[in-house]
Amino acid sequence: MVRPVEQKKRSRCNRQRNKIILIGTEGKNKTETLYFNGIKQHIPGYNILFAKGNDTDPIKIVKNTIKSSDKNHQGLDFKHGDLAFSVFDTDTDITKQSFIEKAIEYGENHNVKVILSNPCFEVWFLQHFRYSSKALMSSKEAVDELRRYLPEYQKNKDISDKIWPNTTIAIRNCNKLNDYHKKNGKTKCLELNPSSEVSKFFEIILQGKEK
């Protein structure tokens, strides 16, 4: 007969830990960090951690994510179902195209998925309120547009609770934008304005499918 204390010990050893989502972000920009930190309560079964580093170069952002995903750092186990993402903006600098393409390829070879927003992360926020294929010429224009729906919006302010109820709408609008760009023969990331791949993040996390 197994003693109660031994049974308790065994069940504790067999208990499965939460999966880890590691996210690398761009420079000292707090927008992405505030958002993903704010939504972690809505993603059961996962712990969200953030990679170290303040780089703005796409390849360096991916490298920082890879470095932080090493077992000696964050303890990620990709076979267990842990995930790593590098999240950054395309901006409107056409010279960034080749660097972003290299960063995506480098990430794919190291279990890191690159999540882009064009021209900025606020495009993702905007999709919670409306669909529009009108190109945004700058991050400022995107922020100004967002303030039509959230007048109090600031980059250093967490708005995750306010927009979370519309996440399904945002995913649908982002996918609609993807279809729009494909229909118009646009394939390069700098051409996909506006767009945001944060929808892919949720499709992987919430629906278990990767596109």
Kindly tell me if the per-residue pLDDT of 11 is higher than 90. Answer: no
Q: What is the mean pLDDT of residues 48-54?
A: 93
pLDDT number for residue 71: 57
State the pLDDT confidence band at 211, using cuts at 50, 70 and 90. Answer: very low
Alpha carbon distances (Å) from 147 to 14, 71, 151: 49, 41, 4
Q: How far apart are CA 203 and CA 174, in angstroms?
A: 11
Q: Compute CA 98 distance to the chain's CA centroid, rounded to the nearest angstrom.
A: 21
* pLDDT tens by residue, 74-116: 578 988 899 999 999 999 888 889 999 999 999 999 999 999 9
pLDDT at position 13, please? 39
What would the pLDDT profile of 168-180 be if each residue is shown by its tens digit?
Answer: 999 999 999 999 9
For residue 6, pLDDT over 50 is answered with no
Pick the closest to residue 196 from 27, 62, 23, 32 (CA basis).
Answer: 32
Q: What is the pTM of this model?
A: 0.88
Residue 206 has pLDDT above 80, yes or no: no
Give the pLDDT score at 207.
57
d(CA 130, CA 28): 28
pLDDT value of position 21: 96
pLDDT of residue 39 exceeding 50: yes
Which pLDDT score, from 0 to 100, does residue 93 have?
82
The residues, any chain, with a CB within 8 Å of residue 199's CB and separated by 6 or more, are 124, 127, 170, 171, 174, 175
Pairing of strands 112-118, 195-196: antiparallel
- Res. 54: pLDDT tops 70: yes
Mean predicted confidence (pLDDT) in 20-35: 92
Judge contact between 112 and 69, C-beta under 8 A: yes
pLDDT at residue 8, rounded to an integer: 42
What CATH architecture is 18-206?
Answer: 3-Layer(aba) Sandwich (3.40)
- Amino acid identity, position 126: L
pLDDT at residue 133 above 70?
yes
**Residue 9 pLDDT more than 50?**
no
Percent with pLDDT over 70 in the chain: 89
Task: Parse the chain into domains and list their residue ranges.
Answer: 18-206
- Residue 62 pLDDT > 50, yes or no? yes
Rounded mean pLDDT of the chain?
89
